[in-house]
Structure 1
Amino acid sequence: MSEFGLLGRSLKHSFSQTYFTQKFYSLNLTEHHYELFELPTIDELPALLAAHPDLRGLNVTIPYKEQVLPFLSEVASTAARVGAVNVIEFAEDGRLIGHNTDLAGFRESLRGFLPVGFTGRALILGSGGASKAVEVALRDLEIGYWVVSRNPLGAGLTYADLTPQLFQDHLLIINATPLGTYPDTEQCPPIPYEHLTSQHYLFDLIYNPSETEFMRRGQALGAQTKNGFEMLCLQAEEAWKIWER
């Protein structure tokens, strides 16, 4: 048997198990199984690995994309660039290698969302592991940005800093926080939504629900919106390429 799974603290929202179970079925990989592993702390990872000797690959989600780094043997260039891991490769020699496929997934999904020749700047809401992949992707696409969070580090902004002028100058707004994820679907990032216009593009990394409160509030003011489902699929396919090679 070959076992794969998702590592996180709360996984009620996740579609990963359904996605990979369907993929294994379509490929007739009857000995492949995908499980959800909820850990209260990342310190329980060694015990999980010992209890599941058939593990061949793990996805990693909130809040462990950065916390998992000390438990890995090495990190691939994608994870090194981002500073966060969302895929763990189990090498034949026992090494655990961290990768980041969120980077490619977000970059390609965003590329298809924005109009050709987009020259605006972006606001990234949140400063966790997902936000770090977004930052690298925006740099790859040569889109300038500010990171917005409750407790910014360095040159970041707080939500209180968001002025009408900032919204006018930043037409792409990316929700990289978990606010609005199922089951807490009434939540949304605390931005001044009244400053949004039909010129804005709102990308929410959340995919469950398919339409978040963040997206709905933007749509009400004419903004274009996109959720994280395509990003999920793209990053999952990149993960599978790593695991099956």
Structure 2
Amino acid sequence: MEVSKKNKVYGLLGRDIGYSFSRGYFTEKFEKLGIEDSEYVNFDIPSIEDFSALIKKQQFQLHGMNVTIPYKQEVIPFLDKLDNTAKKIGAVNTIKFTKKGLLKGYNTDVVGFENSLTPFLKKHHKRALILGTGGASKAIAFSLKRLGIQYRFVSRSPLKKKEISYESITQKVMERYTILINSSPVGTFPNVHLMPQIPYIWITKQHLLFDLIYNPSETSFLKEGKMKGASIKNGLQMLELQAEESWRIWNQ
């Protein structure tokens, strides 16, 4: 856990986040804009129970946080308020520290995902499979609903109505669901050889594969889609767009 001497501190809350896109992005942003009184640091905590101690330690400096795996849902009970979108989604990836000392949660993944996905959508893209059921998947589902796209979650242990197992993805399912979204961490660096266990054999040129992972830029999941002629998109632009939306919220 890091302690900063800067007047304004922003950071990323997560676990095992040695390298983070957010830290590099905002550090570069501050340098470009000539912002010298601010710093972006990683807040790597082993348990969400350590969050309160972290806040007390940094309370006079903290202005904003991004939240990543595995705390997008777990952090909610520690917040004072949620904006309407975050409340509906049930997951938070941005926290604003208000002048009154309150912690307000937002979800900027929605903005990032929608604006990143929309240019790739075609008329036949009416249904989507969301691979994974973590905090990020909830923002994806919220966005798809707003776009009028039907969806189902794919889980290793399906429990809810809209969830199916990886084993139940048949040729018919693949033909109906032409958008495939990997919201799980499977395939991220250093385990770049891994990919979600779906029947890639039935991917066609009609499919659109979107991977929230940005490192590597072309995951094994995306490579398989590319070989079948599908459209592919990684998560880098989504991350950049959600970061800018976080910055807007922190400074509004």
So what's the TM-score if we normalise by structure 2? 0.94
Name the structure 2 match of 1:27. 33
Deviations 1:33-69 (A, max 9, x none): 0001111111001111122231110000011000000
Secondary structure of the equivalent of 1:70?
A: helix
Counterpart CA distance in 2 for 1:170 and 1:13 is 34
Question: Residue 182 of structure 1: CA displacement?
Answer: 1.4
Q: Does 1:103 align with 2:103?
A: no
Counterpart CA distance in 1 for 2:125 and 2:39 is 44
Q: Does 1:150 align with 2:153?
A: no
* Structure 1 residues 149-168: aligned runs within 5 Å: 149-155=155-161, 156-168=163-175
CA contact (8 A) 2:125 2:179 kept: no
Counterpart CA distance in 1 for 2:55 and 2:191 is 31
> What residue identity is the alignment partner of 1:121?
R
Counterpart CA distance in 1 for 2:124 and 2:65 is 35
Name the structure 2 match of 1:133. 139
The percent of aligned pairs where both chains have the same amino acid is: 48
CA contact (8 A) 1:13 1:182 kept: no
* Structure 1 residues 41-190: aligned runs within 5 Å: 41-53=47-59, 54-115=61-122, 117-155=123-161, 156-190=163-197
Residue 9 of structure 1, aligned match among 15, 26, 36 = 15
Question: Residue 149 of structure 1: CA displacement?
Answer: 0.6
Counterpart CA distance in 2 for 1:142 and 1:159 is 24
So what's the TM-score if we normalise by structure 1? 0.97
Counterpart CA distance in 2 for 1:217 and 1:204 is 12
Question: Residue 98 of structure 1: CA displacement?
Answer: 0.4
Counterpart CA distance in 2 for 1:137 and 1:144 is 11
Counterpart CA distance in 1 for 2:66 and 2:49 is 17
Secondary structure of the equivalent of 2:63?
A: strand
Name the structure 2 match of 1:217. 224
Counterpart CA distance in 2 for 1:118 and 1:64 is 35
Question: Residue 23 of structure 1: CA displacement?
Answer: 1.0
Question: Residue 83 of structure 1: CA displacement?
Answer: 0.5
Counterpart CA distance in 1 for 2:127 and 2:52 is 42
Deviations 1:159-191 (A, max 9, x none): 011000100011100001011111221111111
Unaligned 5+ residue runs, structure 1?
A: none
Unaligned 5+ residue runs, structure 2?
A: 1-6
Question: Residue 118 of structure 1: CA displacement?
Answer: 4.2
Moved over 2 A (4+): 117-120
